[in-house]
Structures are given as C-alpha cells and as structure tokens.
Structure 1
Amino acid sequence: MIGPLADGPVDVHAHWLPEELFALPPGAPYGPLHDRDGELHLGAVPLSIATRAMSDVPAIRADMAAAGIGVRVLSAPPFAFPVAGPAAAYVEAFNSALGAIVAGSGGALVGLGLVSLDAPGPATAQLEELAGRPGIAGVAVPPLLAGASLDRGVLRHVLGEASRLGLSVLVHPMQLPRPEWADHYLANLVGNPVETATAVAALLLGGVREALPDLRVCFVHGGGCTPGLLGRWDHGWRTRPDVRRDSTRPPGEAVRALWFDTVTHDPGLLDLLVARVGKEAVVCGSDHPFDMAQRDPVGFATGVGLDAAALTANARAFLGAGR
C-alpha cells in the first residue's frame, strides 16, 4: 500500500538489508554477510562495497541525491531470499524493518518485501500482510526455485496472489553457482542474465501473463538475455506445438505487457530492449549498491534517447502509483 510518491525520477531496482539481518535466512546458500573494516563480505568473499551503502538509510539517500533520483524502490539483496526452507521469522523481521524506513520517508523510499518460498500458505499470509503495510508496493522474488520457474510451484502461486492483491513483483536473479561458471565472475556475468531470461520465457510461454492480466511484474538487468532471444522464441512458438501449448500469443507480442529495467551496461542493448518491448515497458534501475550497479541510471537512460518523465511514468505504473 503506497501513498503519494516524492517528485523526480524513480529507481525501481536497489537493495537494502539492515545489519541485524546480515546472518541471512536459515540455510541460505551464501553468507553470512559481515562487515570487515567498513567493507561488506559475503562469507569470505569481498563484495567491493561499503557496508553502510547496503544498510544505512542516510547513505542511500545521499546516493539518491548525487544520482538525481527522487524515489528509490528498495528490495532485499538476492542472497537474502528465503529459498532453503521455512524462514517466517526472518521474513517478518525484514518486512517490519523495511516498512519502518519507507513509511517515514515522505514518499522518497518504497519497499518490496519478502515472502516465504517453502509453501503456498505462509506466502499468501505474508503477501496479505504486505498489502496493508504503508510504503510497501509489492514483493521481490527469485526467477528460479527448486527446479521450477514462474509458471509452476510456489513462484506461480506468489504471482497469482500478488495479482489478486494488487502488489507489484520484481524478479531478481540469485547468481546460482554452476561448476562451469566458477571462475571470472561468470555466475554473475553469464548466470544472472540466463536465470532472468529463463523466467521471462516461463512466464510468457507458460501463459502466466495471459492468466493474470492485472499482474505487474518487472525483470531487472534489462531482462537478461531476453532481448536477444525473443526472435528465437517466436520462431519456436510458430513451428512447435509444444512451445505454444500453454500460450495464445507469441512471446514477441506478449512481452510488451511486462516491465524491464535499464541496467544493461550497453547503450546498444538498451536500444534493442526498447525496440523489442516498447518504451512504455522500460523503467529506470540502478542495482545500488552492488559492483555491477549503473552508477548514473538517469544519465545512462537519457543518453540513449529515453525520456526521463516517461521513465518515471512507467515506474509509477509498475508500482501501482498512477501518474
């Protein structure tokens, strides 16, 4: 439930986690987070960011001012997603802490909460609670869970309930480890875009968006590999009955009902994204405070011809805040 937003550009993709939750959910595949001389580490791995950039609200507000951001949407970093079993206490602690900082921000901060991902029942109860929290627009979820994506299992249930409750959904990859991606940061550089494209394909080919016409869902990092694969998906949809079994529209058409952020690191790729999904589907994102963040999100987007006011209107539509 979000009220009036502050003026200025909206950054839909930024992360926050209070220090008291650095232990991460039970069974988390990474971590825990900890501070070492002011620098944030995930387990033994340095994250190349200052600890306060993740957890300190004044530091986040200062970064917003420097980047010309009027409204920043905060979600948990993906390693805090509760993907390894029951985590109701952690979810409640995060949502309560997030609700407290966004409710007192004068519309400059908006929250996307967490939900348990081990069973449908707890997720429904948590989503219903999020829908009543001031300053909370929706929920952030991973693109993959237990061998399934957005068209099956708990993730599909969460999308259905979010649509019913009028909540926005941000889909963020988890940088899942694979042996062939062990070196050169490939779990991020290759894995993240592949995870996201898998989720977009599952949503479109699985008929989820058709079944949930009111669903507001945004994919980060420009949709990962999606812009370059839509032509291939369309060809498969036209030529193979198993590809089009659960959907009535080719992916290249259905994709225009989704949102995608601008964190592409490549003006040419951002141009391609706009060409494939339409200007109305693109929203400004930063990925603050990570090393792969777009440090000047508004300047990057407007530098390729996107209009700042239109990006803000798109973000407000995604958040259910109108214009």
Structure 2
Amino acid sequence: MYVEVVALPTLRSGVVDVHAHWLPRELLGLPPGNPLGGMNDRDGALFLGDVPLSFPTAAMTDIDAIVADTRKAGLGARAVSAPPFAFPVHAPSEADDYVAAYNERLADAVSHPDGTLVGLGLVRLDDVAAARRELTRLAGADGVAGIAVPPVVDGRSYDRGVLREVLGVAAGLGQSVLVHPMQLPRPEWDHHYLVNLIGNPVETTTAVASVVLGGVLEELPGLRICFVHGGGCAPSLIGRWGHGWRSREDVHRGSTRPPAESFEQLYFDTVTHDPQVLTLLRSHASPDRIVCGSDYPFDMAQPDPVGFLLGHGIDAATLEANGRRFLGMKAADGRR
C-alpha cells in the first residue's frame, strides 16, 4: 500500500530546487567513522578537514542565509539535505544518535513560516529496522518530504539486499528519495578533481542502472526517486543498456520491461552544466520527471538554476509542478 505524505505544508509558489545542502553547526563533525576529518569553520569559511570548500560557512549552516539565497536565485522553494560527507555509511551501527540529531534539527529548520524550505533527512542503510524507524519519524515530521542517500554503499546499489528494502520502506511511507554521490576515491581519480568530475557521474549512473535493470520500479511503482546531476552518464547509455537487455539473459533477468520504459519513471535534476546534455536528458526522461536542481552551496553548483532552464526550453510552471510532485507536495492552489 502506498500513502502520500500528509504532514507537509504548502510551499511558496515558484520553481522548486530539489538539490541543495544544509548541515547545522553542531553536526559539522560528521558521523562516526568518517575518514575526512570533519567539517570546520575558519573565519567564516567552511573547510572539510584542511580542504577549503570555497563558500561561507553560513551558506551551509544558517537557515536565514539559505532562505535569502533561495529568494535571490529566483526560486520559490528549496529542498535541503545533508552534504554527502554526512551520510552515515562508515560506522553505521554507531550513527543512530547523529542521524536522529540531524533529522530533529532538520524538522525544526524547515518549519520556517514562509514555506521556503522542505527537508530530506538521513537514515542508516545497513539495517532495515533502523531505516524504518527513522523513516516513520520523518513521515510524521512537518516539512520533511523524505531522505537523501548515496548511490553506492559497500560496493552495492539499490537492486538488492538492504538498500532495495530501504526503498520499499520509503515507498510504503510515501517518502521521496534523492540519490546523491559521495565522491568515492579511486587511485586513478586522485588528481584534477576527477573524484568529482568523473566519480560523481559514475556513482549516479551505477545507481540508475541498478534500479532500471533490477526491476525496482516494477516492484515499487509508487516510489519517487530522483537522481542528481542529470542522472550522470545514464542518458548517454540508455541505448546501450537496451541493446544489452535485448541481447543478454544476464542483463534482462532482473526486469520485465526495456530499460527505456523504466527510465521514464525516474526523476532527474538538471545540474548538467551543458545545454546539449540537458537536451539529451529530456529526450529520454519523461517531461514530468525533470526537476530543478542547483547543488547549492558547493562550487560545482549550477550558478543560475532557474535561468539555465528557462533559457533552454523548460517553463517555470512545469518545473514547479514536477518539483512538487517529486516531493509529494501540494500544488500551489492546494490540490494534490
């Protein structure tokens, strides 16, 4: 049985950015086991360990600053989630307190009375019971629409095991799922920022493939799942996946329909940095599944998320409707 989120207030009218980040100052130390040394403020600038992140700490931690920046960007509303460094994946059995603290502060942060912000919380991904417990709390929290998760955990993605079960819990509770990469290190990506420039799209592509070829949406037709950065490399590979699905038993054994059909049921944000890539995404994704994203406040963010889309053929009303649909929100006039 699939239920709609019922605890969400009506957001401000306007384009909804589903991909932005927030972390309270008291949780900058990151979850247990994190190998990155925590985040820290140095004279108003945010660092990850000793690495400068090139934006003010307030842009990540201060709700009033985020609301002001949301308005300045011409957005109606923004969904905020933890930065990927804060995903509780390194020592998950020790992360319950961190996850609960983040979600409690998130619910408080998005209760801003003007309806500018909505939240996507954290869950453990190693234990279905723990995930269910936290997702149930989130489903009852005003202004929280779902969760943000990494594409790959311990070498696995969302077509099997605990990760697939977590998607089932989210779908059953009417919670949205935003899939955001973690910049997993590989030795060949240790220079030129390739861990982000190549690694992030590859992580996301892996998760898209696992969901499409794993038959996830055939099992969970009510699941609202969104892949950031335009789905990574997936739009350019959907034809290859289709050929493999038609040609090889080991490719099509997990799904009953061609990859292109399942692809149309997924949501994708628009952080592509390239109009031609955006055009390619639009040629494969369903028009009502393309949502505005920014990756605020990181240096790899789309600097003018609304202008980029309006300037390349996507109208504001469609972006607003799609964003609300992904988040399970009411339409601006109060309709579901």
Provide the TM-score with structure 2 as the length reference.
Answer: 0.94
Instruction: Supply the distance in 2 between the matched residues of 1:99 and 1:217 (Cα, whole angstroms).
Output: 21
Instruction: Supply the distance in 2 between the matched residues of 1:182 and 1:200 (Cα, whole angstroms).
Output: 25
Coordinate RMSD, CA, aligned:
0.9
4, 10, 26: which one aligns with 1:4: 10
Report the 3-state secondary structure (helix = DSSP H, G, I; strand = E; otherwise coil) of the residue aligned with 1:118: coil
Structure 1 stretches of at least 4 aligned residues deviating more than 2 Å after TM superposition: none
The answer to whether the 8 A contact 2:10-2:330 is kept is no
Q: Which residue of 2 aligns with 1:22?
A: 28
The answer to whether the 8 A contact 2:40-2:46 is kept is yes
The answer to whether the 8 A contact 2:126-2:163 is kept is no
Alignment of 1:255 onto 2:269: no
Report the number of matched residues.
323
Gaps of 5+ in 2: 1-6, 332-336
Instruction: Supply the distance in 1 between the matched residues of 2:29 and 2:14 (Cα, whole angstroms).
Output: 35
Instruction: Supply the distance in 2 between the matched residues of 1:32 and 1:105 (Cα, whole angstroms).
Output: 31
The answer to whether the 8 A contact 2:121-2:144 is kept is yes
Q: Which residue of 2 aligns with 1:67?
A: 73
- Counterpart AA for 2:29: A
Report the 3-state secondary structure (helix = DSSP H, G, I; strand = E; otherwise coil) of the residue aligned with 2:264: helix
Instruction: Supply the distance in 1 between the matched residues of 2:98 and 2:58 (Cα, whole angstroms).
Output: 21
Instruction: Supply the distance in 2 between the matched residues of 1:304 and 1:164 (Cα, whole angstroms).
Output: 36
211, 214, 237: which one aligns with 2:219: 211
280, 285, 289: which one aligns with 2:297: 289
Superposition deviation, residue 188 in structure 1: 0.2
Q: Which residue of 1 aligns with 2:53?
A: 47
- Counterpart AA for 2:326: F
Report the 3-state secondary structure (helix = DSSP H, G, I; strand = E; otherwise coil) of the residue aligned with 1:24: coil
1:224-270 per-residue CA deviation (whole Å, 9 max, x = no partner) reads 00111111111100100110001011111210101000000000000
How many percent identity over aligned positions? 62
1:260-308 per-residue CA deviation (whole Å, 9 max, x = no partner) reads 0000000000010001113211000110000000111010011110111
Question: Which shifted more, 13-22 or 27-36?
Answer: 27-36
Instruction: Supply the distance in 2 between the matched residues of 1:197 and 1:105 (Cα, whole angstroms).
Output: 37
Superposition deviation, residue 5 in structure 1: 1.3
Question: Which shifted more, 188-197 or 47-56?
Answer: 47-56
1:185-264 paired onto structure 2 within 5 Å: 185-264=193-272
1:113-133 per-residue CA deviation (whole Å, 9 max, x = no partner) reads 001123111111000111000
Q: Which residue of 1 aligns with 2:173?
A: 165
Question: Which shifted more, 156-165 or 1-10?
Answer: 1-10
Superposition deviation, residue 154 in structure 1: 2.4
Question: Which shifted more, 195-204 or 148-157?
Answer: 148-157
Q: Which residue of 1 aligns with 2:311?
A: 303
Instruction: Supply the distance in 1 between the matched residues of 2:286 and 2:130 (Cα, whole angstroms).
Output: 36
The answer to whether the 8 A contact 1:29-1:79 is kept is no
Instruction: Supply the distance in 1 between the matched residues of 2:293 and 2:173 (Cα, whole angstroms).
Output: 24
Provide the TM-score with structure 1 as the length reference.
Answer: 0.98
